[in-house]
Amino acid sequence: MCPKNIWLKLHRPELASQFALSAFELQLAEQGNEVEEYARKLFPEGVLVTKTRDEAVQETEQLITLKTPAIFQATIVVDGFIAKNDALVYDEKNACWDLYEIKGTNSIKEEGKLRDHIDDLTFQASVLKRANVKTGKFFILHLNKEYVRIGDLDIEELFAIEDMTEKVVARLPQVEEQMGAAKYHLTQEDEPMKGCDCIYAGRSAHCSTFKHSNPQVPEYSIHDLARIGSSKKKLATLVEREVFSLDDVPADVDLSDIQLNQLLVYRNQKPIIDLDAIRTEIEALIFPLYFLDYETFAPAIPMFNGFSPYKRIPFQFSLHILDTPDGELRHVEYLHEERSDPSEKVAQMLVEHIMPKGSVISWNKSFEQGVNRELGLRQPESRIALERMNEQMYDLRDVFQKQYYVHPDFRGKTSIKKVLPALVEGVRHADLDISEGGAASDAWWQMISPTATATERTKIAKGLRTYCELDTYAMCQIWKHLRDLAF
Ligand code: SF4
C-alpha cells in the first residue's frame, strides 16, 4: 500500500470520494472475504474475532490467554501499529502461535507479489513480537490453481500452504526499519511531500489522488504515452526535465514508433491511416463475418463442476452475423440467468450458429480463444468445433495495434471503448448502465444472487444484453468504417 495514499486517507478525509472503490474492486474485495471464509474451515476449532476497535483487541487477548486453537482476525495494537492476523493458530507442542496470511490468489510465485506478501507477513510478525506473543512458523495460505471442483468443494485440496518462516525472519530487520519510517511519515500533520512517487509511473498505476498530488501534470500527459510505464528510464528523463505536457516533449527523447505516432496525431490533430495495409486486412476476411464477444465471471471459489479457482464462466455472448458485404446484420445472443453452469448451452449455440466457413471477428482474440479452449475442455463433444472457431478467428484490434490507423482521440489506447467513438458517430459505451467488462461481471454476480428481486434481475439482464450487443455491433460498425475507407 502506498504511504502517500494512506496519509491522504488519514489526514484529508475530504478527498474521500477519490478513494471510493469501483464495482469491480468491490467484487474483488468480496471474493477476498469469501476466500477467507472458506480457508477458515481448515481450522474447524477456530474462533472469529467479531468485535471492533479496542474491544477486538481485548477479545483477542482473552482468546490468546485461553490458548484457543485458532483465532481469526486476531487484532493486536502495540507501539502505534495495528495488525489484523488472518489466522493465528496455536501450536500446543511448541507452546507458540503460527501465523497464516490468507491470500485469494492462485499463486504467490510472481516476484513483486511474493515480496509484498512476505512483507505483509513480516509486519504482522513484528507486531506480534512487540506484543510479546510467542510465534513459531509463518505461512501463506492461497488457492490451489490445480484444483478442479468435482461435486462438493474439497477444502483441503482447494488451498495450498507455503512455509515462509525463513523468508520472514530474514526480512524482519528491513521491514522494521520501514515500519519506523512509515510511522513517522503517517503522523506528520503537514502533507509529507508535494508530489508523489507515481510521477515516475504510467497512468495505469496512478490512484485517483494523482491529480491532487501532482497538479502540474495535465489530464492528458506524458504518463499517457503508450507503454511508457514499461520505459521507466524514458519517463524519468522527461520528469526530471519537468516535461509533462505532450506539447513539450523534446525531439531528442528516444520514443518508440508507437509513441511517436501518438505524439504526431496529437500535435497535428489528424489521424495516421495506412490504407493499403487496412485493405489487405479487410480483403483477407471471409464471409459470413461472425462478430463475437463473451462476458465472463471468474470466481475465486469454483462454483460448478469442472472449474478451478478463477476459471472463467462464460455467462453471456453476443454474435452479430453478416452473410454478405451489404447484407442484413443478424443478431444471436445468450445470457445465462440461472445460478448454474452455462457451458453446455453456450457451446451448443455457438456450434449451431458459427459455420466452418467464414471469419470469426473479435477484439483481443486471445480472450475469446482462451474461453473457447476452456469451454472445449468442459464440453468435449463441442471441442473440435470450438477449436475450429479459434482457427477462424481474426482480431480486429490488430488494425489499431499494428498502427494502420492511429487517431488523436485514441490517446495511445486500442480498446474498443476508445476506438468506437473516434470512428463511429452516435454509438458510445459511456451512455450505458453497464459500460465495461468488470461491471458486467459484477452485474451477473448480483443478478444470480439468491437475494436479488425479480425486478432487479430483469433490470440487470436488460443492461447486460444491451452492453454485450453493443460490443459486437461496434465491431461491425468499425469494420464497415474501415471497409468504406479502404475501398
Ligand atoms: S498516485 Fe501513486 S504514489 Fe501517488 S498517492 Fe496514488 S498510489 Fe501513491
Higher pLDDT, 383 or 426: 383
Res 174: pLDDT: 97
How far is it, in rounded angstroms, from Cα 163 to Cα 141?
Answer: 9
pLDDT of residue 111 exceeding 70, the answer is no
- Whether the Cβ atoms of residue 235 and residue 227 lie closer than 8 Å to each other: no
Question: Ligand 1 centroid to 194 CA: how many Å?
Answer: 12
Q: For residue 4, give the ligand 1 atom closest to its CA.
A: 5
Question: Ligand 1 centroid to 384 CA: how many Å?
Answer: 48
Q: What are phi and psi of 440, to 5 degrees?
A: -65, -45
- Percent of the chain scoring above 70 in pLDDT: 98
CB 464 less than 6 A from any atom of ligand 1: no
Whether the bond between 421 and the residue before it is cis, its omega within 30 degrees of 0, is: no
Classify domain 3-187 by CATH architecture.
Alpha-Beta Complex (3.90)
- Map out the domains of the chain as residue ranges: 3-187, 197-265, 277-486
Amino acid type, 112: G
CB 248 less than 6 A from any atom of ligand 1: no
CB 214 less than 6 A from any atom of ligand 1: no
CB 335 less than 6 A from any atom of ligand 1: no
Mean pLDDT of the chain: 94
Q: Which three cell numbers stand for residue 329?
A: 446484420
- Percent of the chain scoring above 90 in pLDDT: 84
pLDDT of residue 10 exceeding 90, the answer is no
Amino acid type, 215: P
User: Which residue CA neighbors atom 4 of ligand 1 most closely?
Assistant: 196
Report, as an integer, the average pLDDT of 25-54: 92
Report, as an integer, the average pLDDT of 412-441: 87
pLDDT of residue 334 exceeding 90, the answer is yes
Res 19: pLDDT: 67
pLDDT of residue 22 exceeding 80, the answer is no
Report, as an integer, the average pLDDT of 37-51: 97
Report, as an integer, the average pLDDT of 304-317: 97
Res 300: pLDDT: 96
Least confident range from 60-74, 321-335, 345-359, 420-434: namely 420-434
Q: State pLDDT tens for residues 263-310.
A: 999 999 999 999 999 999 999 999 999 999 999 999 999 999 999 999
pLDDT of residue 225 exceeding 90, the answer is yes
- Whether the Cβ atoms of residue 361 and residue 289 lie closer than 8 Å to each other: yes
Res 33: pLDDT: 93
CATH code of the region 277-486: 3.30.420
Res 15: pLDDT: 77
Question: Ligand 1 centroid to 129 CA: how many Å?
Answer: 31
pLDDT of residue 16 exceeding 80, the answer is no
Amino acid type, 172: L
Question: Ligand 1 centroid to 386 CA: how many Å?
Answer: 43
Half-sphere exposure of 148 (CA within 13 A, CB side): 5
Q: Which residues pair with 161 in a beta bridge?
A: 141
| Residue the block writes with cell 459505451 | 429
pLDDT of residue 185 exceeding 90, the answer is no
CB 203 less than 6 A from any atom of ligand 1: no
How far is it, in rounded angstroms, from Cα 483 to Cα 480?
Answer: 5
Question: Ligand 1 centroid to 208 CA: how many Å?
Answer: 8
CB 209 less than 6 A from any atom of ligand 1: yes
156 falls in which pLDDT band (50, 70, 90)?
A: very high
Q: Which three cell numbers stand for residue 395?
A: 482480431
Res 245: pLDDT: 97
Q: State pLDDT tens for residues 229-243.
A: 999 999 999 999 999
Q: Which three cell numbers stand for residue 103?
A: 491470500
Question: Ligand 1 centroid to 110 CA: how many Å?
Answer: 22
Q: For residue 205, give the ligand 1 atom closest to its CA.
A: 2
Polymer length in residues for the chain: 487
> Mutate which of 213, 214, 221, 239 to test ligand 1's pocket (most atoms within 8 Å of Cβ)?
213
